[in-house]
Amino acid sequence: MSVEIRGKLYEGKAKIVYATDKPDLIVQYFKDDATAFNAQKRGTIVGKGVINNRMSARMFELLERRGVPTHYVATLSDREMLCRRLDIIKIEVIVRNVVAGSLAKRTGLEEGVVNAQPVLEFYYKSDALGDPMINDEHVRLLGLATPKEVAWIRRSALRVNSVLRPHMARRHLTLVDFKLEFGRAGRRLMLGDEISPDTCRLWDVRTKERLDKDRFRRDMGGVEEAYQEVYRRLIGA
Ligand code: UDP
């Protein structure tokens, strides 16, 4: 498909979104920029954009095959993904299989404890407020999504988990937790954003070595190498 890239619509922390000559299609450009803690920490992870673009494409293709609609249309280049234009629902959906990060802080459970069932959380996508955790009633209060949409989002997030978790396990990666964003394309809901080591916690199954953005957040070193290792396991050298 040939599309012409037009003006910048939005620049986020890790991606730039461009309009195209087709009103219902946009291009996501994946940068190497990294931020953490609501952009208080900033840096660069060399090669990250390429890895996140390629990994997201592969995960979206897999999910489409397994019945989860996504905004993915095509890979245009190393850093450019053609996507359906979505009206993004301002909810960050987190699915957790293993205790880590804010779940450990919130509950006092130790990082690494395996959840008997996946834990699903909603956060209000608001930089000004620092993405606070919200529940269904807050979603309704703020008018972020209808109850029907919330039910669909829940089902889809769990479906994504049930596809990705075993897929990654076969590649010796534990899918500890991840963040999803959904949006509306006309009357259809679909998965948007990206699926990458920026948005997933991925641990080596055996050693529990962290192979994701926590290496950057926690100044652990070996950040680029970790992203490359995830790429190698999921996409191949
Ligand atoms: N996450 C994300 N973007 C955010 C917040 C979280 O992609 O703005 C991902 C994060 O990479 C992890 C999961 O969501 O895979 C859960 O993050 P958590 O709530 O533990 O936040 P943290 O303690 O990392 O701030």
For 7-19, how does the pLDDT look when each residue is reduced to its tens digit (9 = 90+)? 999 999 999 999 9
**Position in ligand 1 atom list of the atom nearest CA 213:** 11
Given this model, what pLDDT does residue 187 score? 92
Q: Would you say the C-alpha torsion 91, 187, 10, 64 has a positive or negative sign?
A: positive
Model pLDDT for residues 152-211, shown as the tens digit of each residue: 999 999 999 999 999 999 999 999 999 999 999 999 999 999 999 999 999 999 999 999
What are the sequence ranges of the domains in the chain? 5-84, 87-235
pLDDT of residue 22: 98
Give strand pairing partners of 200. 178
Q: Are 91 and 153 in contact (CB under 8 A)?
A: yes
Give the integer Cα–Cα distance in Å for 182 and 192: 5
Instruction: Give Cβ neighbours of residue 116 (< 8 Å, ≥ 6 apart).
Output: none
pLDDT at 2 (0 to 100)? 85
| Across 212-233, average pLDDT | 98
* Residue 123 CA to ligand 1 centre (angstroms): 10
Does the pLDDT value for residue 1 go beyond 90?
Answer: no
What is the sign, positive or negative, of the torsion defined by CA atoms of 29, 125, 56, 52?
Answer: positive
Distance 163 CA to ligand 1 centre (A): 20
Q: How many residues does the chain have?
A: 237
Assess contact for 47 and 78: CB atoms under 8 A.
Answer: no
- The answer to whether the CB of 134 falls within 8 A of the CB of 123 is yes
pLDDT for residue 158: 98
Residue 178 Cα to ligand 1 middle (Å) = 7
Residue whose Cα lies nearest atom 10 of ligand 1: it is: 199
Tell me the CATH number for domain 87-235: 3.30.470.20
Q: pLDDT band for 237, please (50, 70, 90 cuts).
A: low
Q: Which of 98, 125, 127, 199 for a ligand 1 pocket mutation test, highest count of atoms within 8 Å of Cβ?
A: 199
pLDDT on residue 126 = 97
Helices 48-65, 223-234: crossing angle, 10 deg rounding: 30
Residue 14 contacts residue 34 (beta carbons within 8 Å)? yes
For the chain, how far is it from start to end, CA to CA, in angstroms? Answer: 27
For the segment 126-146, the average pLDDT, to the nearest whole number, is: 97
DSSP string across 94-125: EEEEE--HHHHHHH-PPTTPEEEEEEEEEEE-
Stretch 63-75: mean pLDDT, rounded? Answer: 98
CATH class of residue range 5-84: alpha beta
Ligand 1 atom closest to the CA of 178, numbered from 1: 15
Task: Report CA(179)–ligand 1 centroid distance (Å).
Answer: 7
- pLDDT averaged over every residue in the chain: 97
CA 208 to chain centre: 21
Ligand 1 site residues, Cβ closer than 6 angstroms: 94, 100-103, 131, 177-179, 199-201, 213
Nearest-5° angle of CA 233, CA 236, CA 237? 110
Q: How far is CA 40 from the centre of its chain?
A: 20
Average pLDDT over residues 50-79: 98
